[in-house]
Structure 1
Amino acid sequence: MSTPIIDTEVAPQATPQQTAPRTRRRRARGAVLPYLLVAPLILAVVVALGWPLLQQFVMSLQNFGLEQQFGAEPEWVGFSNYAKILTDPTMWIVFGRSILFCAVAASLSMVIGMLLALLLTKVSTWARITLQVTLLLVWAMPALVTMVIWQWLFDARYGLINWILARIGFPDMAGYPWTSTPLGVFTIAAIAVIWGSLPLIVFMIHSALTQVPTEVLEAADLDGAGPWKRFREVTLPLITPAVMIVGLLQIVWDLRVFTQIYVLQQAGVSVEETNLLGTYIYRIGIGQGEYGDASALATVVLILTLLLTWKYIAKMFAQQKEASQ
């Protein structure tokens, strides 16, 4: 008796020629999807920033003053506003002063912030939570309120700073008029800027420090590397992307400081000797009604900011590209 033979259908196997187009289509969809997800954000940025920047550039090419604010037709002057701004010696003095202030404030902010971030990795849990809550309160405090507090601390007659300095061996500092001298104004402004910048720096760098593998640090310790050498040659290269991002933000923010300087100028100090780019643009535009000149100067500051940070941005993107590969 012969055994019956049952024919079974075997599912056809896809040939390499059939699977290749499917794979390419999936890869194409995977490559396009991130751009589709980011597109709404890019559109929002273009609308919120691109349009005002375009209007600023157009205004910088016009003779736009108080009359134009009330409906008068602006006069096109081309690049005359730029020529006027770039040949103004006062602008270059203010620009140099702003660069110096930015360099000092940003450098001190990064150094102090990195030290505090390292401290957070060494202290107990309760001490770390207390410091983090304190930094959050500092971050949440409006800049104007912060300036009122710092002005009180540096008050010539009732300020706590002068009292402490006089008690620790600097009797000449009793009654020192901080807000009446340019150096005193820049000192208070720098302290206030650093104070307000520390929370972001500390949180960003501390977050990066927690991602450093302990095995790498232990291996460096076994190789005989001391604390400073471990930080310089192991920890710092690993947290460099976070340091570069927060450092770039500090340069941009500190280069256009406005609130701190403007508030301190109201105490009676010389405005011409304490103007930075932010207050200088404000006084040309709002104070003098020369909106065309102010727009031209703001555009110049934007271009100079990009030039100052271009290598920084390029290096940051290069490191991110190497990390992704």
Structure 2
Amino acid sequence: MTNTSTIPRGDGRSATPGRRRDGDRRAGRPSGMPPWLVPYVLLVPGLLVIAGLLLYPLIQMIIMSFQKVGLRQIRGVPAEWVGGDNYSQVFANEIFWSSLRNTVLFAVITVTLTLVLGTAVGTLLNKLSGRMSLFVVIGIMSAWAVPPVAQGVIWRWLFDADAGIINWTLNLLPDWLSNLLFGRSDWTGEPWLNDAITIYIVLIICVVWASFPFIAVSVLAGLKGIPSELYEAAKVDGSTPWRTFRKITFPLLKPVFSVLTILSIIWNFKVFSQLYVLMNGPTNREAFNLSMFSFAEAFRSPPKMGSGAAIAVVLTLLLLVVTSVYVRQIVKTEEL
């Protein structure tokens, strides 16, 4: 016999057992969005912000590099499309090639010095006690926290020809020692920031001083994750400090060094603020890098913003090529 009894519900109506109510069916129904799509949907707001702040200006810069943009266009006259003329003029300019040389040489020297000094300081911090390590970290990170413009102001003042501490300190050296080291004894009024070579010497010191703390702290964080037993075993085997670093520390910190190298390359290829302050504006063409050359072309009278944009595009492509080659080598190494 079929049981047709009903069970009373709270609202006075009855429901047949074994049947699910409509509300229950709706509650158990899966949402219309596939689970694999949820992470991508959550990324949309961030991607929109990135597109608005980075992608849109980049596209506009590329478009401008194929146009003639000057004072008339700033006043509202439509820009004239010139095709690749801006690039032809840039590549035919001797200042572009000297700026490219300065950019590459500066990046190679600065990246190397920053990584070597940062690694040495990070290794030293790992050897110090907790309080002393914290004290040194706070001290060096103060330099890293200084804004780029302020960095340029500090080092421009230190190397000032008339009131700079560097010239005053060099004059304190005994004449025989100064002649032995530098071939001269009088440093009064030495114009460090007039010649392209000395400008870049000061710029390298400035950038390395402000950049190595980040490398040091990153290396210190990586060293904290290496088991101490490995170093104890190496010490028992009679390994030298250099061999220990080469066989244990460097291989285990290779991912950290790879990321730090890429970041350093990007940062040092784009150096502008410190050089602008040290040179007191785009005054010495021999000391231009690509960033300064782009600024000078775009904003010095008469402004040629199309040419400035073309130089910026070349710099961006150069950075993409360098970083992509380096990342590819990292991926190949990891696969092996």
Instruction: Determine if the TM-score, normalized by the shorter chain, exceeds 0.5.
Output: yes
Structure 1 length-normalised TM: 0.83
Structure 2 counterpart SS, 1:179 = coil
TM-fit CA distance, 1:36: 4.5
For each residue in 1:15-60, what CA deviation from the matched residue of structure 2 results, as whole angstroms up to 9, or x when unmatched?
xxxxxxxxxxxxx84x655544444333322222111111111111
Would you say the 8 A contact 1:182–1:270 is kept in 2? no
Provide the residue aligned with 2:6 in structure 1: none
Report how far residue 71 of structure 1 moved.
Answer: 0.7
Matching of residues 1-325 of structure 1 within 5 Å = 29=35, 34-168=39-173, 169-170=177-178, 171-266=185-280, 271-287=284-300, 288-317=302-331
How far apart, CA to CA, are the structure 2 residues paired with 1:120 and 1:33? Answer: 43
| More displaced 10-residue stretch of structure 1: 275-284 or 41-50 | 41-50
CA drift of 1:205 comes to 1.4
Deviations 1:167-215 (A, max 9, x none): 2332233432212222221111111111111221111111111111222
Are the equivalent residues in 2 in contact too, given 1:106–1:251 (CA < 8 A)? yes
How many residues align? The count is 293
SS of match in other structure, 2:142: helix
Amino acid at match of 2:199: V
Under a length normalisation based on structure 2, what TM-score does the superposition of the two structures give? 0.81
8 Å CA contact 1:59, 1:291 repeated in 2: yes
Larger radius of gyration: 2
Counterpart CA distance in 2 for 1:39 and 1:116 is 40
Check conservation: 1:162, 1:174, Cα contact below 8 A.
yes
Identical positions, percent: 32
Paired residues of 2:152 and 2:277 also in contact (CA < 8 A):
yes
Structure 1: runs of 5+ lacking an equivalent:
1-27
Q: 1:204 to 1:271 in 2, by over 3 A?
A: same
Query: 1:223-246: CA deviations, max 9, x gaps?
Result: 332211110111101111111111
The alpha-carbon deviation at position 70 of structure 1 amounts to 1.0
Q: How far did residue 284 of structure 1 move? A: 0.2
Is the alpha carbon distance of 1:218 and 1:257 closer, same or farther for their aligned partners in structure 2, counting shifts above 3 Å? same
